[in-house]
Structure 1
Amino acid sequence: MAPHKTTPDGDGDDTMQDIDDMQVDSVVTDEKIAVKNEDEEELEHMFDDDLDMVDGSSAYKNSGGKTNAAAISDILSASPSDPEVMLQFYSRLFPWRQLFRWLNHSELPSTDFANREFAFTLHNEAYLRYQCYPTFETLRRDVLKLNPSRFEIGPVYSARPRDRKQLPKGSFKPLEKELVFDIDLTDYDEIRTCCSKTKICIKCWQFVTMAIKVVDVALRDDFGFEHILWVYSGRRGAHAWVCDKKARKLDDAKRRAIAAYFEVVKGGSQSGKKVNLDRPLHPHIRRSHDILRDDFKRNILEDQDPFRTEKQSERLLQLLPDRQLNDALREKWDSTIERSSSDKWKDIDSLAESGASKTVIPKVLLEHKQDIILEYTYPRLDAEVSKHLNHLLKSPFVVHPGTGKVCVPIDVSKVDEFDPDDVPTVVQLLKEIDQWKNPVKKEEDGDNTTSRVSDIEKTSLKPYHDLFSRFVQRLLNAEKPLQIKVEDTKY
């Protein structure tokens, strides 16, 4: 079975070399990575203290023999993708136990985790697929050996991905995976005016915020999903992981149908109307318009100001249905030196009501204005990410190699407050550990003892870790009745 050529998620900037199985010794000898599988290691580590909450300051020594504290001081000015920086992050700050609980859906090891595919992007840009692990500890140990720049999560297969070549033909297939969605700001380049390509700011981030609002409520209200994890992609977008069991079990046909449900903005070129909706509006579209209407005024008309120039104004006129009204608007705007997009939007109604056009139909004009609002605010999703069960997606809490930012969860209840500029970078987190002062607690007998504090708790990563932990616990609580029901059917 030849390795499937996979492009990492939309925030990846480079084309990765796809390496099958564990054949990396000859590919990355310059890094002297010795790779071995540890599936048979003891499961006793599953019941150790939670590795997410252990102070790692003395747990690891780097190749130079320095302790973590000394090593951190040496790498605070290093590149975020520097191998030593990443090694510090994986050994001290990555939430391995919570990742296991999230993907395993149980506290005890199961095939939900053991048959899950992991893929690594190595520092030499090799892309290593079909890796699998029985426990989070074995995954952690392999990551510390390989020290990838990031890793991705794939589906749960019918057998261990590593064993696929030894299986009868056709028996190795994906069984389940979270339903995922990808929002990338490059898909908004034709309508955002503040930034383009990989650059973002808080103004154009509002496109992502608006998309999250629309998609999240539709997934909950229209499809009945409850466990939706939103994650910042590290640079210019966000990912949704729908983790409900019924979502994980969806086949490709159902995933394509759900993806199509969210396809409203269509067409590749800048000319032409990209939103052409039937009336009356579908309830989902009506609700989305109601959610986005106020955001259009603030985030689009005011912040993006997309119709200010003459060329931009002509684009707006292309989207309106009445020629006489367009001529009147064009004449008014040509006679004004500077007129904002907000003013031009108001001019549409004021001139229509003034009788400047004898052919304008108010109902038709209203419908076209609704379409314009949706064209500039409605989610533009990468549908291919959602359609296929075997698609790989970047893991939460990995570090984006270009920005150094951690791919942290987004609190959907406070989505308007999320600012990508506030997301910590890996170097910043290591600096916070380095500068943290251990508090002293006095015991009743007068002796001073230092309290045990995890590295995560020393940093600004803690609120994101806590958000993820609460999400995982709610998911596990929901899975328990399902597991009990399955056990009952055995007897």
Structure 2
Amino acid sequence: MVQQADAPLPHDASVADKDLLFYYDKLFPFGELSKWLTYKNSPHLPESEANDPLFFAKREVCFTCRKPGGLDNADEFFLRWQSFRTVEEMKEKLKDMSSLVCFKFDFGAVYSVPVSEKDSSHSAFRPEQKELVFDIDMNDYDDIRTCCTDKRVCQKCWTFLEVAMSLLDAALREDFGFENILWVFSGRRGVHCWVCDSSARLLPSDGRAQLCEYLNICTGTDQQVKKVTLRGGRVQPPSVDRAFCLAYRQFQRLLEEQDFFASNARALPASGDFPDSAAPQFHYQKLLNYLPDLSDSSSSHSRPWKGNAKNERRDGRGGGVFAAAKPHMSAWVEKRLREKSGFSSEELFNELCAVSGCPRPRDFSGRVEDVKQIPSFVKEIVLAYSYPRLDINVSKDIGHLLKSPFCIHHGTGRVCVPLEVAPERTRGASASSRFDPARVPTLTLLRRQFDDPSRAHLPPHQRTSLAPYLDFFRDKFLYTLLKNVAEETKYVKKLLEGVDARVKPEVCF
């Protein structure tokens, strides 16, 4: 999916009531949204083992609203526990701006009874399913990104999220077999992931928590020296080595764009400043903390390892190459600082690769043999600076609310567009093929494009720069999802026709 060239102007961030009404009426893909969130359950067909006419009515919808005419959202408030029999009814509610303007809406779980019966159902009201969701926010990278802080996001920042999406997407597909995964730009500085397979939707909260614990490699806190701690030795679980392999292919770009290990690169807090008494470390100091130390005999990294002859001569300690990594790199850093020549991230990391006997990111082939030759402390460093930083609480709660795709972000005016994730993308990707958050259409831009007389001959959904995102959502994500749902429904019907009538339908999902 290639973004259109139209670049939003700075004043495009406003979200006016009249433009929202236009968007809900003319451009928002309510039809496609209905096909997605109903999973082929039709309110117009009778109830059966394969159809629940109240399926969408059981889904919680939460509106974020303001009074008509408001622009700064200072008076915004939430309306939870809303429900509608159809998506079309929800559309009419959104278009009715006489008393409230709903500029954002979130979806929660599908409950055992319609949400409108929540208060009268008491204990019978319980969550039964919801998409498995993930939320990755750029704020969580403030301790390692050097280009921006706080709410600011640039193309260099986005590389972190590109890598994170490719790693998480691969894990969800290869380790858990999920197929129907939707990635969505949050509208400002993050991404959301919706896993829509029936097996994911029916996971209980404890199952979601266990899955998240499996995926969550970055477990260190700000008070800990290391964000990532792997088991010793060069051989890691296949999931870790796969994540490292994907990350290492793109690590060269991070080294060049962020240059976080450079001699003058410090980690800044979100505010952009810090008291003199609590000045943060340089990133190269953080890197040195990951290296095994001669004095740390308990470290699994410091086990003797027979490197090649070149590395043995470089280190001067025979087989103790790994144990000598920290003193060697510390001396190398001190020498460059003393000579006032400084160093770049690439220079520092390439020196680490040389002393560790592993390929540089630029030369990495991705072969299994090469991955196995890379020591665990190098993998820890790479994953600490590239692995997805997950908000586990978002994912493990089956009732957690998440913003709908194609909503307008009230702070930026940008559309929360779906994203196409290409796990196989490497450092060779051209600039034109990369997603740029600054080129995502805004509400006012869409209005200008739609009203442009030169585009009047086009179908409504093709008049604006939203078109490629709509096409991707409908033709790729939704097509595959509905095909899979149809196959599951067919299988259930076959079971119920007598192949094995004792099997309950829910076991197939």
Q: What TM-score, normalized by structure 1, do the two folds share?
A: 0.76
Unaligned runs of 5+ in 2: 1-9, 44-52, 67-74, 265-281, 294-325, 358-371, 498-509
Letter in 2 for 1:312: H
| 2:462 corresponds to | 457
Give the superposition deviation at 1:489.
4.8
Q: Which amino acid aligns with 2:334?
A: E
Q: 2:48 maps to which residue?
A: none
Aligned mates of 2:113, 2:442 — CA distance in 1: 37
Aligned partner of 2:237 in structure 1 is 282
After superposition, the CA RMSD in angstroms is 2.2
**Equivalent in the alignment of 1:33:** none
1:93–1:456 CA contact under 8 A, matched in 2: yes
Partners of 2:133 and 2:194 within 8 A in 1: yes
Match runs of 1:415-454 below 5 Å:
417-437=434-454, 453-454=458-459
**Match for residue 283 of structure 2 among 305, 309, 312:** 312
Query: Could you tell me which residue of structure 1 aligns to residue 76 of structure 2?
Result: 125
Deviation at 1:247, TM superposition (A): 0.8
Cα deviation code 1:33-74 (max 9, x no counterpart): xxxxxxxxxxxxxxxxxxxxxxxxxxxxxxxxxxxxxxxxxx
User: Does the CA-based 8 Å contact 1:190-1:270 persist in structure 2?
Assistant: no
**Displacement of 1:315 after TM fit?**
2.3
Q: Residues of 1 paired with 2:170 and 2:287: CA distance?
A: 29
Structure 2 residue 148 is the aligned partner of structure 1 residue 155: no
Structure with greater contact order relative to length (CA < 8 Å, sep ≥ 6):
2
Aligned counterparts, 1:6-405, within 5 A:
80-106=14-40, 108-109=42-43, 110-123=53-66, 124-145=75-96, 146-167=100-121, 169-269=122-222, 272-279=225-232, 280-299=235-254, 301-309=255-263, 311-322=282-293, 323-334=326-337, 335-350=339-354, 366-405=375-414
Q: Give the partner amino acid of 2:488.
A: L
SS of the residue corresponding to residue 281 of structure 1 reads coil
Which residue number in structure 2 is paired with residue 42 of structure 1? Answer: none
Q: Displacement, 1:267?
A: 2.0
Residues 78 and 85 in structure 1, CA contact (< 8 A), matched pair in contact too: no
**How many Å separate the matches in 2 of 1:331 and 1:79?**
48
Counting aligned pairs with the same residue, the percent is: 38
Aligned equivalents of 1:294 and 1:405: distance in 2? Answer: 31
Q: Name the CA shift for 1:271/1:253 in 2 (closer, same or farther; >3 Å).
A: closer
Counterpart of 2:483 in 1: which secondary structure?
helix
1:482 pairs with 2:499:
no
The alpha carbon displacement at 1:396 in A equals 0.2
The one-letter code sitting in structure 1 at the alignment partner of 2:23 is F
Structure 1: gaps (5+ residues)? 1-75, 354-362, 440-450
3-state SS of 2:124 partner: coil
Q: Structure 1: how far apart are the matches of 2:466 and 2:459?
A: 11
Q: In structure 2, do the counterparts of structure 1 residues 432 and 393 end up closer, same or farther at CA, with 3 Å as the change threshold?
A: same
3-state SS of paired residue (1:148): strand
**1:482 aligned counterpart, secondary structure:** helix
Cα distance in 1 for residues equivalent to 2:205 and 2:41: 29
Counting matched residue pairs gives: 393
Letter in 2 for 1:215: L
Report the 3-state secondary structure (helix = DSSP H, G, I; strand = E; otherwise coil) of the residue aligned with 1:117: strand
* Counterpart Cα distance in 2 of 1:389 and 1:143: 25
CA gap of 1:337–1:378, structure 2 versus 1, over 3 A, is same
Letter in 2 for 1:121: T
In structure 2, distance between residues paired with 1:157 and 1:466: 31
How far apart in 1 are the matches of 2:422 and 2:147?
Answer: 26
Kindly state the Cα deviation for residue 257 of structure 1 after the two structures are TM-superposed: 1.0
Please give the per-residue CA displacement for 1:348-403, whole angstroms capped at 9, x wherever unaligned: 344678xxxxxxxxx99932111101110111111111101100000000000111
1:340 aligned partner, one-letter code: S
Deviation at 1:78, TM superposition (A): 7.3
Aligned residue for 1:120, secondary structure, equals strand
Partners of 1:208 and 1:79 in 2: how far apart?
23
Task: Show CA shifts across 1:258-317 (max 9, x none).
Answer: 111111112221650111101431101001111111211222x11101122353332222
User: Alpha carbons of 1:193 and 1:330: their partners in 2 closer, same or farther (altered >3 Å)?
Assistant: same
Which residue number corresponds to residue 53 of structure 1? Answer: none
User: What amino acid sits opposite 2:438 in the alignment?
Assistant: D
User: Does the Cα contact within 8 Å between 2:15 and 2:444 map onto a contact in 1?
Assistant: no
C-alpha displacement of 1:236: 0.6
Q: Compared with structure 1, are the counterparts of its residues 88 and 378 closer, same or farther at alpha carbon in structure 2 (3 Å cutoff)?
A: same
Deviation at 1:485, TM superposition (A): 3.4
* CA distance in 2: counterparts of 1:142 and 1:194, whole angstroms: 42
